[in-house]
Chain A
């Protein structure tokens, strides 16, 4: 059985293509991009867009860090500072990190991993991109022209009363962006449910697909709540319906419940796909099947479901009852167990492996280090007595940057280096790419580790000015942020340079067993001539290195033996 399975899987790649024709050069002109229904081109457009957003948000972050170099005013007034941190948080959250992995990497990889030509609803996919663009433009124009200073959280009654800026336009932008996210999630759920290739049962799906599936569930179930909340906020501002504003008999804490009911699951929209990428990289670069496949798959789903039950831990000092604080604290600890399982499984995957330290693996190891810190510092915040002291301080800021940036961004960049040869058909310079990875790692820790200490010492977040005792921590952090900024620019330069001067990539440079490596690099317009038969996703023994092409090819001996670890 295994024999036929594997042979079928390769037959698609053996079909002759029109020589050198692929999705990037099969049609030309701007119209062929902006009206494209090809998931790969949409993925590339998303990739460019979210990276542009990331650099915009990064520039805002550097401006903030520079201002914080001194305790007193340097070059930003308090109002400008507040405007700037709102821009940073809103752009990074809504425009970058939520769409980053699912919309950019997911769009490109998911259908190919399933051996399909496209997602289930290609038109809806394009619509989701344009909703993103429309929402982003709306959002940015509102933010940049009005001096919005509510923070990305839009807490009432500040957002519904005192702030003069155009809260309505900005929330409209976030509302539209939410639909983009729902469209993507719905598309992925249907695609994974209905379009798995022959041979790919649920438990033979690559773990990246499991994580995207879990993410999509959250996107479809949680995002509507954000939409409703934002509409209520608009109604509050324009009609004064009195649901959030105590002046009219409303309850401002209710807004926080609504907001975090979406925004806490959204944290897992950000981190779950990152975990999926790490599962792929860990296995492939250790040349071992992933350890405890089922535990990792189930833990993705467990995280997705539990994520809906823990929103109250954002509100331990909000005035909610002690009883609800205790319940939410208990539930919060339960969500840390599936994450711990994943970390241990990734480590066990490396055991007795043949570990290559290519750039994607460097990012994966960096992820393990940073995510461990991000996850473990969450324990302090889940423990009620300690959270009361740490809440709304820089400890929180450091914690979620370790998870969101040290976790999601690092995995995203690692995934980008992993799939780059497939996406663009070129290899980047390993030495420079690894050097950038190291610099990102150093800059990141220098930026955010001191923030744990100053938060513990009492430095509140969202402060434009601070008492001088925190100066040294802020200064180290600012220096780190500059290093981090330069390193990220370096990452992009190395990748873009490879587009022009990079060595041509083989079809399967890393020796992975998932289907996307069995079409050419870059893939042809329709990915596969016919839907291939999928073998076990982590049967890495079926491939051996061929130095003449610098990549991996199916190993006939392994195929004959049909040996797998499953």
Chain B
């Protein structure tokens, strides 16, 4: 059993490329954070060992046994007590100062940072690039400061990228920002198969889908980021509709809540699956008849999933909600999904069996 645990740990460490404590570090501030962590760790380890060793030694030396009695000793000693108040106090000052200066580096973005707009919503991230392309994974160039300007559409979320050692809440009604500069690419190739991307998590509890509101961070080698951006921004021109629809379906976060492969049918998801084959009732594929409700208390009606129903469900998701699901889907106006893009997505949904 212990062997198994040890083996698994070793494999894990070998694969993740971090130390026992830390995940992989890939940002300019990560080194500072890890160093400060190590400093506090050794100070804590020293005091912890000291406390436990003294405790164990006293228990060993003075434990109750025949012939042993307590010996008189001072019940207070001001010099000693002031010492052990002031010495830790000085150490704390050092830790505070280092934490403070490191924090200012984490928080203050350089002026020439590349800017990406971020929208958090239940339960998806959207990254809008300067050319208007929207993606729900984060793509950034290596060796260049990147600034995220973040807002939330509904509740509080929190952007957390462990490999960059940074995190910031995304609060409705205001902009928050964070920045980082990656030091190594995560791989090569604009088709992304050659990448081993970093994790990106939502760290502030936001409801049912909180733990699935995680995405990937792709750090592109020099030159590749621009190429990727051009490619990703021209999906409709470069690919047939169903294929472009599939890419949009993934990059705009639809996949988060709607099952499109058999394997996902077993999971509890927040939206109805979109497969049409097999049992009609639990699925919501194109052409199937489904029960919908137009609000709380309204009697369910039966409709057929057609082009107009899908369009309506994207533009005004709460107008007709499938029975058995909550009205939680965000609204996608024309600024987020154009009519052409919806057409491509419909073509993709039609292609699902």
Contacts and interface: CB of A to CB of B under 8 A. Distances in A.
A173 B63 CA distance: 48
Size category of the binding interface on chain A:
35 or more
A292 B80 CA distance: 10
Interface string A456-468: 1110111111110
B95 A333 contact: yes
B208 A353 contact: no
B172 interface: yes
Given A329-B100, A376-B47, A391-B167, A291 B75 contact: yes
Nearest to A392: B203
A392 B172 contact: no
B252 to A, nearest CB: 21
A70 B3 CA distance: 20
A450 to B, nearest CB: 10
Contact of B68 (A291, A337, A354, A379): A354
Contacts of A344: 81, 84
Given A355-B63, A453-B21, A565-B75, A157 B58 contact: no
Interface residues of B, number: 97
Contacts of B22: 456-457
A203 to B, nearest CB: 12
Interface string A340-351: 110111011011
Contact of B89 (A291, A337, A352): A337
Contacts of B281: none
A525 interface: no
A431 interface: no
Interface in B12-36: 12, 15-16, 18, 20-23, 29, 32-33, 36
Contacts of B201: 458, 460
Contacts, number: 283
A37 to B, nearest CB: 39
Contacts of B32: 385
Given A78-B268, A252-B172, A352 B70 contact: yes
Interface stretch (B101-109, B183-191, B220-228, B299-307): B101-109
A383 B98 contact: yes
Nearest to A76: B268
Contact of A353 (B43, B62, B81, B96): B62
B143 interface: no
A366 to B, nearest CB: 10
Nearest to A380: B40
Contact of B168 (A77, A317, A379, A469): A317
A432 to B, nearest CB: 20
Interface stretch (B48-56, B127-135, B234-242, B336-344): B48-56
B149 to A, nearest CB: 13
Interface stretch (A51-59, A367-375, A417-425): A367-375
Interface in A122-157: 149, 151, 155, 157
B55 A365 contact: yes
The interface centre, meaning the residue of B37, B101, B156, B205 with most chain A CB atoms within 10 A of its CB, is: B205
B27 to A, nearest CB: 11
B103 A325 contact: yes
Interface stretch (B157-165, B272-280, B282-290, B315-323): B157-165
B37 A380 contact: yes
Nearest to B202: A460
B154 A157 contact: yes
Interface stretch (B110-118, B209-217, B243-251, B345-353): B209-217
A476 B5 contact: yes
Given A369-B52, A392-B203, A465-B212, A353 B88 contact: no
A164 to B, nearest CB: 8
A348 B58 CA distance: 9
Contact of B156 (A73, A157, A386, A538): A157
Contact of B103 (A82, A287, A384): A384
A457 B13 CA distance: 11
A289 B210 contact: no
Nearest to A383: B99
A319 interface: yes
Contacts of A472: 5, 8-9, 12
Given A292-B76, A292-B77, 14 more contacts: A77-B268, A82-B205, A252-B173, A287-B69, A319-B174, A333-B95, A355-B62, A379-B40, A384-B103, A389-B165, A389-B167, A391-B203, A464-B210, A469-B15
- The 5 tightest CB contacts between A and B, nearest first, are A246-B173, A385-B102, A458-B162, A383-B99, A384-B103
